[in-house]
Structure 1
Amino acid sequence: MLRKEILYLVDKAKSGELLNREEMAMLFEIDPFTPESAYIRYASREISSKVSNNTAEVHAQVGINVGCCARNCKWCSFAAASKVFGRMSVMSTEEIVRRCRQAEEQGANAVYLMATGAFPFGHLLEIIREVRRALTPDAVLIGNVDDFTVKEAYALKDAGLDGVYHALRLREGKDSSIEPARRMATMRAAREAGLALGTCVEPVGPEHTTEELVEATIVARECGAVYSGCMRRVAVPGTELGERGMITEARQAHLLAVIRLATQQEIVGMCWHEPSTLGPLVGVNVMWAETGSNPRDTHEDCERTRGRSVGEVKRMYWEAGWRVLEGPSVIWRPKAGGLQKKVV
């Protein structure tokens, strides 16, 4: 028998009302292997399917360089302190363009360029311009890059970006050298310059508390992003946090479902990383195909290791009963009248 308070909270979320901190905490603390968790995961899929017309998207990311990065995020293979990569290496612009065009041709709904922290800003703008010229006019181009100012946000938009992925990561400033205020300022800068914003609750490890998950969920749902979601931390050999281990996909699925219930339904996108069929089963409709560098990998090109292709991600959606969008992303370019919230 499901507890009445759980039934009430799920019904509240399904009706479009926002859950408060105490209500989110109650749901986060439920064991994944219970009927209550199964009900929450079912409701998450129901909401995602309803608000997206059961349509999922494949976003493709091209990592353009590898460490050593002075930001020293303790979970990242690029961190200089991790000594995973002994030198800086940058993919040629021609190869970056080729991989971006290939991703679009294979059916990716959005193409991302990912660079490590402190990547030369002028060089980044040059790469963005070249990629933008190579893609079709309607293609959605996104940046997953270092923090930036308002002036730089306008430059990124002028170079050809439609949006950026950015997040206030768990234990930012403690498990990284980046101050939380800097991350939030970048998110505000993106919105001010007209860049769409994608975000996520990440990178979740076994040590993170309910309170931390609640606060991260509130930031993610109130920052004006076009999608939210959940990413578990990968235990990368050589990184400081690798020894802390990982949460299971079962735990991640439960957390994702609670985040979906706690997020306003105008946010159509719900992301999950790394790709698997379990994510879409519980309401995920944004997953990534990856090539090039990867902060969760010790190889310079994840296409040869843990990266998934556009076709593989499409197959995962099919297995979970989703339709995959054809053409440019509608999550990154929501209809007029969508979310216009200010960044918290």
Structure 2
Amino acid sequence: MATASELIGMDFNLSEEHEAVQLAARDFAQNELLPGVIERDNAQTFDPSLRQRMGELGFLGMMVPPEYGGGGMDTLAYVIAMEEISKVDASASVMMSVNNSLVCWGLEAFGNESQKQKYLTRLASGEILGAFCLSEPEAGSDATSQQTLAEDKGDYYLLNGTKNWITNGATASVCLVIAQTYPEKRHKGINCLIVEKGMPGFSVGKKEDKMGIRASDTHSLMFSDVQVPKENRIGPDGFGFSFAMSTLNGGRIGIAAQALGIAAGAYELALQYAQERKAFGKAIFDHQAIQFKLADMATRLEAARLLVYKAARLKDQGKDYVQAAAMAKLYASDIAMWVTTEAVQIHGGYGYVKEYHVERLMRDAKITQIYEGTSEIQKLVIARGLTK
């Protein structure tokens, strides 16, 4: 992990390319995602035309090389876009995060050429959507306790089990499924299999009725004697756990950016409201109590943004970014909860109703402390890195 001295002299200004990405993401979020975001949250549905539009704009395969249909951008460009989209609609950004950070990156980094040609090109362009299937009823933070079994049957695996809390569960055409092949080997006996929608025995369970990111497509997935060809295994036999952990390390940067965006969106709404709302004869922004809240919000947001950008830059430089990603996710998710709560408080009674958006951002913020590694898991990751 880079030390503070190594980071002195870092250019904090965005390049023209990064500024263009930021502008494009902001324009899409404000002009296309914002109209109808409350209605989508209420209905718990995401407009397929918006997903198609995200693919057309390149938001679903940002870091994938152009030869596989992606944008060929760096991680920093990706987190910049994630922040802007998350300011408005975290349901859209989690779909984007899973497809980019977990599915596309996992295939690009560890898939073979045949798998990349068959799946990655279509995923990167947004033609199809992907899902990452790790969590189970009894395997959340303890990812080694996989009960989903992938029995080796020679030229195929026989897949049986259930996966929970799967983002893009019903809409994904391709699922990366983590399953146990050799229980006696524990984490060294786990594989990752590419499972396609429509394979006999693969079914989608109930949709979760969630507190936040309600327009996001979250389902349980069931596998009953699904025959998965050996050619659909990613990496060597027993590589699945290493694949999952490596993929999640990068995914945490995306979720940190999502948390940052949720917080930034709430802050911007609170700042605007504070300048418009009057109490005791003047704008509430002119009251010191509100000024102090907004000053604290702005400061913590800037700190979170620097942590997220640092993790992204380390990843782009090919350096060890595991601890930095954990720090970014831990801090950004914590300030997302704090900032959104303060934004509701600044809005007063108006903050408690859907029309003003901040109550939805507050509900959306909570999941960032839970998925892709809880805050407690991030602290373990950080602590393990302290003695390296």
- TM-score, length-scaled by structure 2: 0.26
Where relative contact order (Cα < 8 A, 6+ residues apart) is larger, the structure is 1
Larger radius of gyration: 2
- TM-score, length-scaled by structure 1: 0.28
